[in-house]
């Protein structure tokens, strides 16, 4: 039996999965992300964990086809990571360094891009080769897969959907340093910001006023319950996202759009409204692209890391 390891490196924890090459997740673990000394111990600790695992499971190293790594930063086609602020990394060739440490064949990709590849392989995009994925969480990530391959771009910034500029007069800066990025309005953080702004400017009664600490989930839940202001906020954010997706589709024309991330747990209210607005904005040849919820949840990155190996 041949195996592959998928490793999704986050700022707090590292998710590690042992897979068969057919795409079956055999077992998964989490280890803490050691960010001391600007994260210089991270790759060594991953390699040590993998070696202890194959020893424990009596797996011969020659039966491991390789290790795929997903990292929270831009990655070019040569495996050079252009800095990961959450890990303390500056730019360096992660593929070369991990290969030297571990001896395994290595493939490195941006975490959102490999999540898109994972959904294409074994998730909501299974059966398709051209997939656009958007992850709605604290920020907004994205991944583009065309002809079954990740589109990372020359600078590793392919799929950075969250930083599409959507508003010129936004006074607050995005985390990237620009103003008016998509993620400022449609991320979990952005949705809450829009709701609070509406509540300040609107005197209508709303169940949203009952929450001491408002979260994106509360807004979607109250929209489902018929709250007018909650529905208006949801419509606004879905409309902004749909317009950006329509713009992206004019360039890449995917077969399917997959919505993931924590906000996607809102369910059908999210995809149905995005779909409605998408049809209004999309070029006519693209207007019927299906928009669906992701299936692999937090495991998507690990799946994509393994798929990137072959």
Query: Do 196 and 214 form a contact (C-beta atoms < 8 A)?
Result: yes
Instruction: Scan for tokens 């979990």, then name that residue.
Output: 188
- Separation of alpha carbons 92 and 203, rounded Å: 53
Q: How many residues does the chain have?
A: 310
- Separation of alpha carbons 35 and 189, rounded Å: 25
Using one digit for the tens of pLDDT, what is the confidence trace for 150-205? 999 998 889 999 999 999 999 999 988 999 999 999 999 999 999 999 999 999 99
Query: Do 19 and 26 form a contact (C-beta atoms < 8 A)?
Result: yes
Residues of the chain predicted below pLDDT 50: none
Domains, the chain, in order of start with CATH, read 3-119+299-307 (3.30.420.40), 126-294 (3.30.420.40)
The alpha helices in the chain, defined as continuous H runs, are 36-39, 42-56, 94-102, 111-122, 183-186, 188-201, 216-224, 228-252, 268-281, 300-307
Using one digit for the tens of pLDDT, what is the confidence trace for 123-156? 999 999 999 999 999 899 999 999 999 999 998 8
* Cα–Cα nearest to 117, from 75, 165, 151: 151
Q: List CB contacts of 102: < 8 A, sequence separation 6 or more.
A: 43, 46, 47, 50, 51, 67
- Separation of alpha carbons 274 and 292, rounded Å: 10
pLDDT of the residue at 155? 87
pLDDT of the residue at 119? 98
pLDDT of the residue at 213? 96
pLDDT of the residue at 150? 94
What's the gap between Cα 24 and its chain centre? Answer: 21
pLDDT of the residue at 196? 97
Tokens (6 digits) for 145: 């897969």
**Measured between alpha carbons, how far is residue 149 from residues 38, 64, 113, 130, 144 in Å?**
31, 22, 10, 8, 8
Tokens (6 digits) for 14: 């590292």
């Amino acid at each position: 039996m041949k195996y592959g390891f998928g490793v999704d490196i986050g700022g707090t924890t590292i998710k590690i999965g042992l897979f068969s090459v057919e795409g079956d997740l055999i077992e998964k673990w989490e280890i803490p992300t050691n960010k001391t000394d600007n994260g210089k111990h991270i790759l060594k600790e991953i390699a040590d964990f993998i070696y202890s695992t194959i020893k424990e499971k009596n797996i011969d190293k020659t039966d491991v086809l390789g290790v795929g790594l997903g990292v929270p930063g831009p990655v070019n086609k040569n495996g050079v990571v252009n800095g990961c602020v959450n890990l303390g990394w500056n730019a360096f060739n992660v593929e070369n360094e991990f290969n030297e440490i571990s001896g395994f064949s290595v493939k490195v990709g941006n975490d959102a891009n490999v999540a898109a590849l994972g959904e294409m392989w074994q998730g909501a995009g299974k059966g398709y080769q051209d997939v656009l994925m958007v992850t709605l969480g604290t920020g907004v990530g994205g991944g583009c897969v065309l002809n079954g391959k990740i589109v990372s771009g020359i600078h590793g910034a392919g799929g950075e959907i969250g930083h599409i500029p959507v508003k010129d007069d936004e006074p607050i800066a995005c985390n990237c340093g620009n103003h008016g990025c998509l993620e400022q309005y449609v991320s979990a953080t952005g949705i809450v910001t829009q709701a609070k702004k509406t509540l300040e400017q609107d005197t209508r009664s709303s169940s949203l006023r009952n929450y001491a600490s408002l979260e994106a989930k509360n807004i979607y839940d109250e929209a489902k319950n018929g709250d007018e202001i909650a529905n208006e906020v949801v419509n606004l954010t879905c409309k902004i996202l749909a317009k950006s997706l329509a713009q992206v589709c004019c360039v890449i024309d995917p077969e399917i759009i997959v919505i993931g991330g924590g906000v996607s747990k809102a369910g059908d209210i999210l995809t149905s409204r995005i779909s409605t607005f998408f049809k209004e904005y999309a070029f006519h040849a693209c207007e019927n692209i299906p928009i669906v919820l992701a299936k692999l949840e937090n495991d998507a990155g690990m799946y994509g890391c393994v798929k990137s190996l072959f």
